[in-house]
Amino acid sequence: MRSRGNSVDLEDENHAATSKSGDTYLPTPASPEHGDMHRAIGLSVGSEGIMNDDKALMPEPGTETDFNVEDNKFAFSPGQMSKLLNPKCLSAFYALGGLVCLEKGLRTNRQSGLSSDETVLDGYVSFEDAKATSADVNASKALFVQVTMAETTPPSSRKRSDGLFADRKRVFKDNHLPTKKAKNIFQFMWMTFNDQVLILLMAVSVISLGIGLYQTFGTVHTPTNPPVEWVEGVAIITAVVIIVIVGSINDYEKERQFSKLNEKKLDRNVKVIRAGKSQEISISDVLVGDVVHIEPGDVIPADGIFIDGHNVRCDESSVTGESGLLLKHPADEVFQAIEEHKDLSKMDPFIISGTKVAEGVGTFLVTATGPNSTHGKTLEALQEDLEITPLQLRLNTLAEYIAKFGGAIALLLFVVLLVEFFVRLPHSTKTPAQKCQDFLNILILALTVLVIAVPEGLPLAVTLSLAFATTRMFKDNNLVRRLKACEAMGNAMNICSDKTGTLTQNKMTVVTGTIGVSSRFVDKKWYPPTFPKSNNSTTTSEQTVSDSDADNVSTGEFVGCLTNDVKTLLKQSIVINSTAFEDDKGGQQTFIGSKTETALLAFAQDYLGIGPVSVERSNAKIVQLIPFDSARRCMVTVVNENGKYRLYVKGAPEILLGRCTRIIREPTMEISDTEITTSDTEYLNQVITNYASRSLRTIGLLYRDFEQWPPTGVRTNEDSEAVLEDILKDLVFLGIIGIQDPIREGVREAVEACQKAGVVVRMVTGDNVSTAKAIAEACGILSADGGVMEGSEFRKLSTSQMDQIIPHLQVLARSTPTDKRLLVARLKDLGEIVAVTGDGTNDALALKTADVGFSMGLVGTEVAKEASDIILMDDNFSSIVKAIMWGRAVNDAVRKFLQFQVTVSITTVVLTFVSAVASKEQLALTPVQMMWVNLIQDTMAALALATDPPAPSILDRKPDPKSAPLITITMQKMIIGQAVYQLAITLILYFGGAKILSYQSTHEKEQLQTIVFNTFVWMQIFNLYNNRRLDNRLNIFEGISRNWFFLAISLVMIGCQVIIVFVGGRAFSITRLNRAQWCYSIVLGALSIPIGVVIRLMPNKLLFANSCQDFMKRHATNQFTASDEEQQYFPQPLEEIRQQPAFLEKVHGGRLNSDLEPRERLENHPEPKSNDPVITEDLQEMLGEHKKEKTDYGAD
């Protein structure tokens, strides 16, 4: 029989024993030494192990301080209370003595709650006192009252200075959740300034400013050499200040936007019982020992134990990731079941903070608040320092290389000029002061070369690019909370996505249905993209049902064909036979109740034209209502309709179908029924199986008419109500409704775009394997040869086994938050750049661990948003594709500018070096001219290249690994080619221009100096267009019309250069040029573009790759990797043999079939391929088991 997870019953049998906060931990008596493992994997065993678990209240490593509280006047410590929900643990619940002992130990009362005027408590209650067994329940209550009275002094005699509940707050804390202290603008500035490149720039600026001040005030100036040497140092400092201000203001503003996004009524009120009276208090005033009322729609304010109530079901999907509702059982009932050795698989008395009440009303006893609660601990776990991003790492490495390169060139120039100085010194007729000045000039020139070598515009380009990208990303519904996350996303190699609320809507929706046997409908909005034809083999009958999908009509068309009588029957079956109700939140009407019933009501509202649910029900005369029960797996409502009675039944169709003797004949005609045949039953069973194979939750709708109520011959109970077993027969089958949490629009296309861009998308969910597989296949995540594994299996793998599994793993089902974090951490250890998406509290740890964390802005919890780097404002997974594009655009902008900047730096440094060594009276470029080229133009180039929007083709390439160099081979080719061309033209003009152009007069020679400068600048302007591409494609003007910034800045650069040449005069050592000389300069500059074409046509391999590959082959060594703990005991080969007996089958003649490291496998083959290293047979069998399984919801 199929799992009842497909039917109306929301309490999945598989919930019996899983991990943190999702289900209940039941230890095994057979192997107490493995208690920790059983806690992790949720092993389901009997109550004997619960009663004999010696480790139930033992502190976890690092939590010992929570168990030892100074001057504790309560029987229990915060640490012991936390053991109840770390994870849900019935052993700890039993060890603490159940609810009665919790009352005593926490000095409270389940009926009257805390005393309203409690301050400092007198006396102490020990653990033994709390667990003391009384003769009967009444005696225990009397003892508690006596203890309470003895330990509570009158208000007049207390120390009021300690305030209300002083001891209780001191020991257990109040309910203020831990929050990260907001950083002010100056802290953001300091964080931005702590960058190696900026620190290097500041050092250079100090040197430059010192030299400039000396030259300005300590040397003699001429009309052609104005005292402006200090300007460059000040300009570099100004650039650093701009970088810090722009970066910090961006981060500060993003943080403020995040705060506004999260702005809620945090100080909401909750209803508690104090001094025997119900009252509302602020959520932050809730204390351990409080008795809290809960009702549908409430968000649980603190952890606790369920006291009593009616049909309380909680939605814990934000914590566990599972969409089913969990039924809560009274604590006394659970404790009694433990002592009587009853089945505990469904017993759950635990209330988790941050979850929602979906059904029922009741009360619970608070056991943990604030930082000690589940919600608070998750928030505290997010208080971690940010890691360095890949681009930061590369820029820091580049800064070191630049410092070494600039220092080496400066030292070489200093040595050459110093040797020349000493050679000429004996023959010099200058005065000692002049000789000293010559020496200082040599030192200044060497330091100037060092300053020129540092690309001061690079950090500005990074900051401007990030600022521009984040602003544009906000328009694309991506709120970037941390500026550096933008560029990290550009190189993401893996996306580990949550299912519920991320890939799906976290909103159950009716997607298909069958009325009778002749009419079927499909919601075209969800059904086609969600359920592509599966490659899995199906039976002939299933194939028949599947093939008939093409004949299904849309929901709207189907409802339009129904007669009014049938439409009313369907509407009443949904609206009247339901316990869900309406609520108006923020002006928007929503339904509150089980997700199945709210989905049916939404369907009725959208297609059947129902009015307000309360009005519909008030018009119906309900004579008997039998609520849903997990044993019966159905709900029944009886309505008096004009003197006759109609029984509406809703429940699991696979069970209720056997109670049917008739079936509705033709829904498009008046209501009539006929006898159900064997072929009808077989067909309907095929429909049920087919729906289940597509991960649909199936709901059966049935009815029966009676002349009187209770019917004649039917047994009745003490309330004169008919016994269900006697009336649940001879039913008329109405139809089957298929419900599912639908895939978000655009998800499949977004996944395909990610895969096209070389990003591996993995799904990590708490759902069972069959559901996870169905959704993964619908999203396009799970390929034919992809692997599926459960979290309990994954976490038991060794590090080396994980390394073999991960390249093939595409779906991790039944996973805990720890499993998700483990997967992310392992991927990062393998050198991967990992992004994680999630919306729930359970995703927070993985979001924080990842390189980039995405949370949902609309349905995401506060914890998830706080942990994330980027918030998807529209909750659309497809927005991630835009984030990837903008992230790559940022990386490309940095590389484009770097390519341009390094070219300028090389040519400027070499020109300065050569012209200085040549001992001419004047350098090729004067200091002021170099200031314009090296600073102003670089800044403008940063602005121009940082604002290029991403082109669609940016997704056609694979992401760069962390180890990828910042300057690629194609970039090196362009840098060297352009530098050679610029140097050749400039040096030819500098040394041979007068001869080539036949310049003889002083004025013409002065014009030649200006031609050198003008030509050099025009080569940079045209080379700026060359640098719009980083690949070998020839169209450098692609998308230029969409970037008005680039065009505007280009015009500004051209205008400034024209102005300088015309009016620069003595300050720039400029002489006006004639038309011919302008033509020389512009034509020689424009030749940079065809030179760029020639460079791009040169194959990379011909120039660089062969020599690099030969070098790598000569120096390559095959080696294995191991975790630190493994290396403490065994060398890696021996460790492999020890951990994997099947490893011996892979060894032949002492040689391994494959010696690739896991990291190499991931980089070279992001998706499983036939030539991947063969994983061991036992691991292959783990993945193979799930591949062979038929996709049947609840099969596991």
The residues that are catalytic are 498
State which amino acid sits at residue 210: G
**Residue tagged 């079901």 (tokens):** 313
Q: Are 737 and 701 a contacting pair, CB within 8 Å?
A: yes
- Distance (Å, whole) CA 1171 – CA 1160: 13
Q: What angle do CA 703, 706, 707 make, to 5 degrees?
A: 155
- 512: which 2 tokens? 């298909």
Q: Which helix (H) or strand (E) holds 1086?
A: helix 1075-1086
- Those residues with Cβ within 8 angstroms of residue 637's Cβ, 6 or more apart along the chain or in another chain: 576, 577, 622, 624, 625, 626, 647, 648
Structure-block tokens of residue 230: 């200090």
| Amino acid identity for residue 387 in this structure | E
Measured CA to CA in angstroms, residue 944 lies from 938, 951, 1015 at distances of 10, 16, 21
How far apart (Å, rounded) are the C-alpha atoms in residues 1192 and 684? 16
The pair of three-digit structure tokens given for residue 1123, joined into one six-digit string: 């975790």
Tokens of 37: 């493992």
1076 C-beta neighbours (distance < 10 Å), count: 9
726: its two tokens:
């006697």
Q: Of 176, 173, 175, whose CA–CA distance to 74 is shortest?
A: 173
Q: Hey, what are 395's tokens?
A: 């820029």
Backbone torsion region of residue 650, taken as left when φ is above 0, otherwise alpha when ψ lies between -120 and 50, otherwise beta: beta
Spatial CA neighbour of 1118 closest among 1156, 1151, 1174: 1156
Q: Which sign, positive or negative, has the C-alpha torsion 634, 639, 641, 646?
A: positive
Non-local (6+) Cβ contacts of 1148 within 8 A are none
Q: Within a 10 A sphere around the Cβ of 1079, how many other Cβ atoms?
A: 11
As a whole number of Å, the CA-based R_g of the chain is 38
331: its two tokens = 């604590």
Bond into 742 cis (ω within 30)? no
Do the Cβ atoms of 76 and 93 come closer than 8 Å? no
- Show Cβ contacts of residue 1074 under 8 Å, excluding neighbours closer than 6 positions: 1007
Among 439, 443, 436, smallest CA distance to 414 is for 443
How many whole angstroms separate alpha carbon 444 and alpha carbon 1125?
Answer: 55
CA-nearest of 443, 460, 444, 458 to 403 is 458
Does residue 923 sit in helix, strand or coil? coil
d(CA 989, CA 1015): 9
Strand partners, 504: 743
Strand partners, 582: 591
The enclosing H or E element of 939 equals: helix 937-945
Residue corresponding to tokens 């900026």 = 198
Report phi then psi at 455, rounded to 5: -80, 85
